[in-house]
Amino acid sequence: MTQTTADVVRALLAEDPSFHGGGQRSWAVDTRLVHWLAEHVPAGGRTLETGSGHSTVAFLTRSGAHVVVTPFGDEVGRIRAWCAAHDVDTGALVLEEGPSQRVLPRLVDDGPLDVVLIDGDHAFPAPAIDWYYTAERVRVGGHVLVDDTQLRPCRLLRDFLAEEPGWEQLPPVGRTAVFRRTSPAPVTAAAWFDQPWSALGPYAVGGEPLAERVQLLRVQLRLRTRLRRALARRHDASPSARNERR
């Protein structure tokens, strides 16, 4: 008999299986996110995650179709084995094996998604790439989860989305930022000057903080005026100027 969601979550968190690093390591999401997924993924929903692990099991307790994108298919083999041993149905699981940077662009027309978890490659700009190639697929009311916001590449994406129209930032779940899509308008097509994070941030001009640049321009202007006046005074006091005045 297939286990209930609560049973699966209890077993997963109690056993804390190691799906990563050849089965020796676990880089699993926070237990709070496991609970969040088990509660908020719509039953029978369409979902996708970059990376795999405990989150995959949590998705499988609810999803009707769950795509996992990872270059390490062996992780998914271990997840399948754990699920088989615990009567968790893996019929919804589809492995898209490969780096998300390469896989996701070819999935852009694969239909709407209810929840996307970005937790694959954490090197810059991979989290942003994962968002870019999945964002338009997230249905209005659907969620994007950005894990590991303690890391700068993930935090950068969180900070961008926090200011971006079309998304509502919900309270974080541990180190995972949570966004809900609020608009059917395209979310990846804006010009840079229509993106609040790009246009209004402190690094809006020339790579230097805008306030510092304004300050610098003021100082330069003051110095130029003083120099011009000093040169004029020197010229006025020179013998040639005195001769000109005669």
Residues in touch with ligand SAM (CB under 6 A): 20, 27-29, 50-55, 69-72, 75, 99-101, 119-121
Cα–Cα distance for residue pair 114/47, rounded to 1 Å: 6
Nearer to ligand SAM, 83 or 166 (CB): 83
Considering beta carbons, is residue 176 or 179 the nearer one to ligand SAM? Answer: 176
- State in angstroms the smallest separation of the CB of 126 from ligand SAM: 6
Shorter beta-carbon distance to ligand SAM: residue 145 or 164: 145
- Chain residue whose CB lies nearest ligand SAM: 53
Q: Which strands make up the sheet holding 167-173, listed edge to edge?
A: 93-97, 65-70, 46-50, 113-118, 138-146, 176-181, 167-173
Query: Who contacts 145 (Cβ-Cβ below 8 Å, separation ≥6)?
Result: 33, 115, 116, 117, 118, 119, 173, 176, 177, 178, 179
Instruction: Give the nearest distance from C-beta 58 to ligand SAM in angstroms.
Output: 8
Residue 123 vs 205, nearer CB to ligand SAM: 123
CB atoms within 10 A of CB 117: 28
| Phi, psi (degrees; rounded to nearest 5) at 188 | -120, 10
Q: Closest separation between CB of residue 101 and ligand SAM, Å?
A: 6
Omega before 17 cis (within 30°)? no
Between 61 and 100, CB nearer to ligand SAM: 100
Do the bridges between strand 46-50 and strand 113-118 make them parallel or antiparallel, or are there none, so unpaired?
A: parallel
